[in-house]
């Protein structure tokens, strides 16, 4: 079970701010001479305030902008919201407040031999408030050497959860300033977060690394305020140096309406200063106010926006090119040449008036200068073009393009194309947003149309590792020769860019995940057992082919139902080789950072970081469970005494002879239990904790073929009618699961955003 450690976010405890039922009507800040404008080092601008009548009160009974100023133990003063939230800074222009937030610690206790830490600390529900956690300035941070934590938020109509995993085999692998999965992980959060919780996964503990890393930490904090240090892991300095609290950013608005709606109500409209403007919030709705261009100050008070004197604003940067020519104007400035001079005081010179001949000479010189500038510009553009070509050539060589090109020339009949960046931009309409099929941590996939009319899926990656850069061309050559009807075809790639772009066969009919779960979520019928067996057998054949076709074999690395596509003939096609690799001859020496999708990850791989072909076998076992149960790999709606992992639910049911309880009701009614139990037993073998006890993918494919033939025996459906009635077996409209719905959960920083509660991808760079 997960050990729930719900953070009381500094940002969120703002709900403790009192909203007295008898609060006075709004009073413009500064209208009351008794209002306190400063608390210690903090300037308190309206709409915030200290004391009655000094802050903006919405009149709705929810959060107000009231602060209290208290004397600290050190003799200074500090502003607080409510009873315990320390306010560090308030930015009126950005509509943000910085507050301190508690770090959650989870440590191994030698005496109890268990992990201990704060549990069941609920944060307030701010779903009706005017405050949101800043998605741009805040990050979820996890620090430790064997830690998996989640941050979840429950908003109206939305359930969001993301995971972040930090691992490290020893302290020597840690690097100061690097938070990319090794000892430290950080991930972004979405917009509109108004309440959240943090949970540590208790299957990850620090008992094995307690000698140098007994604790793990998780917190939502300001991204700019975090700089990872090795001592955060090895000495617990993360808590000691911060006092257990770090800053986090909160976005606020003064009204919940849009600007269009707010301006219609002059009485309640908050942008009261002349030369102010209304700005719609980008985080959760509502509006705030800014001073217009050329003005600065507080737009929430009368005459709060004051003209900026550009002529004196920055003594180090005079706005005009000629000294002494600047004249300030409301909201702007003018650069004008002095009397008896002409010229351009903005970006040129001012000269004394000359005779007509002098003017002509000046015109001639100017024309010459124009010609010179045009010539120099053309030369510069040619140089830039050559420079761009040199950069493209460097990238091409860096990614192994020369080696790949030579190999392609030596192999007759190889259908693989080296595309140019211009070709792929043309195919995708300049990588236009309308052509996006899916986005993930490793990149974005676009639908494209090549010049020969072929529809393709074009994956624009975000980054690759140093090892992948050196081996990219070689790996592309091998993957290009993969020729199996149940493997998505790689047409080619583009290597003249910083990160290679991959061009795949376009598969239009969606994923196995949507075929199994999509119909169910929309109330439709489910897929027949015969069809499930067919898809499972074809996917197993594809993986067995990958494991044995090349030397070294190809390990997929991220087998899951969202990565098994269904084509127009309803054949299975294994896809998404973003986590794939060419395994060395000695697999025991192949150690990587953990990469895959949580719920499908091989537990032995997570512990040892050694990726083998048996890791794919384990993940395929989870896919078999999805086909048998119609349940998702991760059940986030599980009760407190239930496992959220489908594999754990299944193994417990098998151990207690309760298989019948977990099976999908439909297949129990249409197929003999003996055949279903044989598939369940095969799944159990795939899910063995020790990889050496698992069958190979070839053995799995052969067993599925045997069971499939038994199911087509005369007492079942006839083999010769299976293909003819394939479309009838697959119920529902083919269009209900399109390729645009493919969820890309790859991430290079040990995290993935979850928009569907089916599964949680956990990523870490290789």
Give every CB contact of residue 533 below 8 A, 6+ residues apart in sequence. 679, 704, 707, 708, 711
Marked catalytic residue, from 558, 602, 616, 664:
558
> In 523-672, which residue ranges form alpha helices assigned H by DSSP?
529-549, 603-608, 613-629, 646-655, 659-662, 665-670
Beta strands in 316-454 (DSSP E): 326-329, 332-335, 341-343, 350-352, 417-418, 436-440, 443-449
Main-chain phi, psi angles of 721, to 5 degrees: -95, -10
Half-sphere exposure of 614 (CA within 13 A, CB side): 19
Active site residue 723: no
User: What are the CA-CA distances from residue 574 to residues 35, 86, 433, 537 (Å)?
Assistant: 67, 52, 26, 12
> In 411-528, which residue ranges form alpha helices assigned H by DSSP?
421-427, 466-480, 512-513, 519-521
With contact defined as beta carbons under 8 Å apart, do 163 and 112 qualify?
no
Cα angle value 138/139/142 (rounded, 5°): 145
Cα dihedral 494, 746, 509, 670 in deg (nearest 10): 150
463 is written with which tokens? 């980054």
Q: Which of 131, 86, 116 is nearest to 244 (CA)?
A: 86
716 is written with which tokens? 């079942």
Cis ω before 552 (30° cut-off from 0):
yes
Beta strands in 228-271 (DSSP E): 245-252
Q: What is the 3-state secondary structure (H, E, C) of 215-234?
A: EEEEEEEEHHHCCCCCHHHH
Q: Which of 505, 612, 644, 569 is nearest to 3 (CA)?
A: 644
With contact defined as beta carbons under 8 Å apart, do 667 and 678 qualify?
no
- Cα separation of 500 and 469, whole Å? 9
Known binding residues are: 460
Question: Which strand ranges, in their side-by-side order, compose the sheet holding 146-155?
Answer: 2-4, 196-201, 146-155, 158-167, 751-754
Known binding residues for ATP are: 460
- Cα separation of 575 and 387, whole Å? 37
Length of the chain: 766
37 is written with which tokens? 């404008």
160 is written with which tokens? 């969001």
276 is written with which tokens? 């102010």
- Cα separation of 26 and 136, whole Å? 31
- Cα separation of 666 and 594, whole Å? 37
Q: What is the 3-state secondary structure (H, E, C) of 701-742?
A: HHHHHHHHHHHCCCCCCCHHHHCCCHHHHCCCCHHHCCHHHC
With contact defined as beta carbons under 8 Å apart, do 33 and 108 qualify?
no
Cα dihedral 665, 670, 676, 679 in deg (nearest 10): -100
Residues involved in catalysis: 558
């Amino acid at each position: 079970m997960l050990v729930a450690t719900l953070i009381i976010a500094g940002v969120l405890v703002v709900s403790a701010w009192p909203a007295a039922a008898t609060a006075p009507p709004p009073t413009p800040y500064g209208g009351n001479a008794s209002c306190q404008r400063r608390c210690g080092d903090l300037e308190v601008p309206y709409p915030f305030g200290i004391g009655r009548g000094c802050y903006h009160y919405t009149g709705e009974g929810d959060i107000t902008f009231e602060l209290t100023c208290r004397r600290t133990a050190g003799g200074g003063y500090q502003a607080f919201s409510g009873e315990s939230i320390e306010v560090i800074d308030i930015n009126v222009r950005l509509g943000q407040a910085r507050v301190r937030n508690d770090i959650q610690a989870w440590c191994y206790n030698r005496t109890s031999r268990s992990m201990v830490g704060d549990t069941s600390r609920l944060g307030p529900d701010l779903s009706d408030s005017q405050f949101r956690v800043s998605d741009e300035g805040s990050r979820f941070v996890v620090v430790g050497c064997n830690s998996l934590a989640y941050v979840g938020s429950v908003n109206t109509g939305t359930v969001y959860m993301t995971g972040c995993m930090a691992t490290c085999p020893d302290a020597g692998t840690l690097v100061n300033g690097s938070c990319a999965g090794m000892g430290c992980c950080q991930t972004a959060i979405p917009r509109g977060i108004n309440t959240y919780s943090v949970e540590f996964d208790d299957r990850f503990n620090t008992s094995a690394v307690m000698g140098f890393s007994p604790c793990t930490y998780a917190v939502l904090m300001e991204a700019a305020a975090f700089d990872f240090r090795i001592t955060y892991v090895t000495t617990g300095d993360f808590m000691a140096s911060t006092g257990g609290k770090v800053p986090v950013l909160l976005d606020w608005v003064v009204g919940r309406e849009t600007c269009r709606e707010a301006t219609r109500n002059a009485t309640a409209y908050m942008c009261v200063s002349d030369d102010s403007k209304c700005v719609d919030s980008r985080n959760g709705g509502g509006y705030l106010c800014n001073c217009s261009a050329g003005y600065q100050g507080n737009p929430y008070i009368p005459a709060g926006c004051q003209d900026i004197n550009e002529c004196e604003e920055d003594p180090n940067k005079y706005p005009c090119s000629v000294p002494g020519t600047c004249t300030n104007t409301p909201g702007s400035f003018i650069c004008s040449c002095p009397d008896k001079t002409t010229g351009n005081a903005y970006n040129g010179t001012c000269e004394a008036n000359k005779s007509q001949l002098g003017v002509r000479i000046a015109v001639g010189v100017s024309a010459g200068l124009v010609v010179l500038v045009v010539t120099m510009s053309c030369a510069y553009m040619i140089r830039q073009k050559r420079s761009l070509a040199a950069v493209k050539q460097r990238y091409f060589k860096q990614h192994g393009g020369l080696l790949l090109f030579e190999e392609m020339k030596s192999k007759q009949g190889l259908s693989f194309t080296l595309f140019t960046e211009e070709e792929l931009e043309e195919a995708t309409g300049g990588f236009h947003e309308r052509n996006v099929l899916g986005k993930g941590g490793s990149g974005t996939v676009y639908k494209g149309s090549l010049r020969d009319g072929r529809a393709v899926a074009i994956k624009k990656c975000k980054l690759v590792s140093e090892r992948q850069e050196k081996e990219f061309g070689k790996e592309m050559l091998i993957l290009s020769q993969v020729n199996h009807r149940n493997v998505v075809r790689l047409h080619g790639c583009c290597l003249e860019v910083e990160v290679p772009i991959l061009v795949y066969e376009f598969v239009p009919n969606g994923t196995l995940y949507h075929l199994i779960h999509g119909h169910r979520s929309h109330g439709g019928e489910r897929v027949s057992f015969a069809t499930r067996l067919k898809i499972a057998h074809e996917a197993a054949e594809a993986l067995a082919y990958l494991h044995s076709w090349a030397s070294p074999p190809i390990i997929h690395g991220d087998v899951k139902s969202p990565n098994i596509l269904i084509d127009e003939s309803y054949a299975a096609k294994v896809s998404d080789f973003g986590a794939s690799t060419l395994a060395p001859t000695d697999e025991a020496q192949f150690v990587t950072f953990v990469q895959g999708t949580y719920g499908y990850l091989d537990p032995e791989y997570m512990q040892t970081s050694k990726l083998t072909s048996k890791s794919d076998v384990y993940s395929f076992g989870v896919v078999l469970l999805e086909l048998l149960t119609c349940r998702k790999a991760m059940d986030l709606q599980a009760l407190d005494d239930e496992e959220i992992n489908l594999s754990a639910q299944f193994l417990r049911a098998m151990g207690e002879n309760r298989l019948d309880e977990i099976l999908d009701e439909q297949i129990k009614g249409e197929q003999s239990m003996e055949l279903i139990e044989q598939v369940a037993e095969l799944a159990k073998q795939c899910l063995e904790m020790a990889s050496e006890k698992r069958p190979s993918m070839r053995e799995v494919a052969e067993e599925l073929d045997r069971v499939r033939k038994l199911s087509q025996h005369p007492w079942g459906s006839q083999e010769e009618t299976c293909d003819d009635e394939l479309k009838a077996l697959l119920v529902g409209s083919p269009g209900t699961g399109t390729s645009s719905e493919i969820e890309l959960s790859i991430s290079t920083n040990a995290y993935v955003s979850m928009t569907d509660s089916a599964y949680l991808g956990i990523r870490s760079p290789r």
